[in-house]
Structure 1
């Protein structure tokens, strides 16, 4: 079925972006935004199922990933660059508005797309990563370091070239296998010198060896620097988004997360999501779905359930 997906290269915002595209050209568009260490391929189950239900499903490799261009500068990976890419892609699709589904870093970018350009989004399904308000007193990296220490993955990602060297020593397949096999709510730490020494021997049931090899082949070709640059730009994003402090997201939203997801179990996150803060910042938040026993890669781990939630929500609009 994956072979039936069309692949295109689109010129957007000064870069060439690879896009997977399936479904009727006149169907309502769903734009799927992957996170780390994903690719368009992250959405294979959603692309096939929802295109069969009449949607045009569009999943790019975000800048820096897969078969899309990877500008060398860290400063080219801000939320503004990524949202600019997406607005240009929506224009290329000839749409006024699209539905959006985002996961992980792709969900974060989706939140900012909704904040910057609510006029282009019909509704959002956010997976794993909730909206979280900008803290004007604490830069993101310093905040993560204070909470989780120097070996926390986002902190380890900050030094250009350092973690790439370690990833190269382990090999892309081992790195990806370790990340995708992780099924723990605890913070992800990459301890210096032994980052993936305890990598699992077996893949999770929801990922085949063929799937892993596809992911690995793209990271072997492209490297990890582009994807990691999004994390290296977080403090710059914090500076640039100061004008949006206390801004609300004004599009209809469904949020889905696994109760074993490390993002859901970060300090203060459950209180924010369930205690009224999330709804205050996202007034049109319609539903929060917590899937029991599910970890971070929710759309790959439980595709049928996630597909139904996406379909049921978007059918309202």
Structure 2
């Protein structure tokens, strides 16, 4: 709240509130909004609601109507609560993992992120990743790849490029 205010999606995902808003909009529209979100920075869901259920949201080129129908049927079965609970439990997660606060990742690592990813554009993330903070905690960091014009769904947006990065990284160990 201190950084982004009450409309920041983490603040809005209190138990029941997000699910009610997503039900009002319908699963397919919510998924379309998530997949089409290309604004670097945090996702905002106004208290007044996330738009009209009649809103038309075109899909990005990397996802098909068939894909969206499949995801819709899956989320219609499971709902969004499981994913939302991740955000609801962030403070608890920090508490539970606090013994490892200064722990280092000590295996060879390649980090790939999209330049439009909302997490990459969270306050302080770019400086941490690009100005040495990340390397401090991941001493065997081999490479940081910032893919241009790519959002949070990097493996779906650029599957061939992601696969090539992974294969090239693994081949270094042959």
Under a length normalisation based on structure 1, what TM-score does the superposition of the two structures give? 0.52
Write the distance in 2 (CA, Å) between the matches of 1:242 and 1:257: 25
Shift of 1:154: 1.4
Map 1:114-193 → 2, pairs under 5 A: 145-157=1-13, 159-193=14-48
* Residue aligning to 2:150: 294
Q: For 1:290, what is the secondary structure of its paired residue? A: strand
Match of 1:79 in 2: none
Q: Which of residues 203, 223, 244 is equivalent to 2:100?
A: 244
List runs of 5+ in structure 2 lacking aligned partners.
none
Identify the match of residue 63 of structure 2 among 188, 199, 207.
207
Per the alignment, residue 284 of structure 1 pairs with 140
Contact 1:175 1:196 (C-alpha < 8 Å) held by counterparts = no
Matching of residue 266 in structure 1 with residue 122 in structure 2? yes
- Structure 1 or 2: more strand by fraction: 1
Quick one: distance in 1 between partners of 2:22 and 2:69? 16
CA RMSD in angstroms comes to 1.5
* TM-score normalised to structure 2 length: 0.93
Report Cα offsets for 1:260-311 as digits up to 9, x if no partner. Answer: 2221111111111111100001111100001112222111111111110011
Q: Which runs of 4+ in 1 moved over 3 A?
A: 196-200
1:112-159, Cα deviation, whole Å (9 max, x unpaired): xxxxxxxxxxxxxxxxxxxxxxxxxxxxxxxxx1111111111211x2
Shift of 1:244: 1.1
Aligned residues: 172
> Relative to total residues, which structure has the larger helix share, 1 or 2?
2
SS at match of 1:255: strand
SS across alignment from 2:2: helix
Q: Does the 8 A contact of 1:178 with 1:200 survive in 2?
A: no
Which runs of no fewer than 5 residues in structure 1 stay unpaired? 1-144
Offset of residue 200 of structure 1: 5.1
> Which protein, 1 or 2, shows the higher relative CO under an 8 Å CA cutoff with sep ≥ 6?
2
Q: How does 1:96-111 map to 2 (within 5 A)?
A: none
C-alpha distance in 2, partners of 1:186/1:229? 21
1:43-96: per-residue Cα shift (whole Å, max 9, x none)?
Answer: xxxxxxxxxxxxxxxxxxxxxxxxxxxxxxxxxxxxxxxxxxxxxxxxxxxxxx
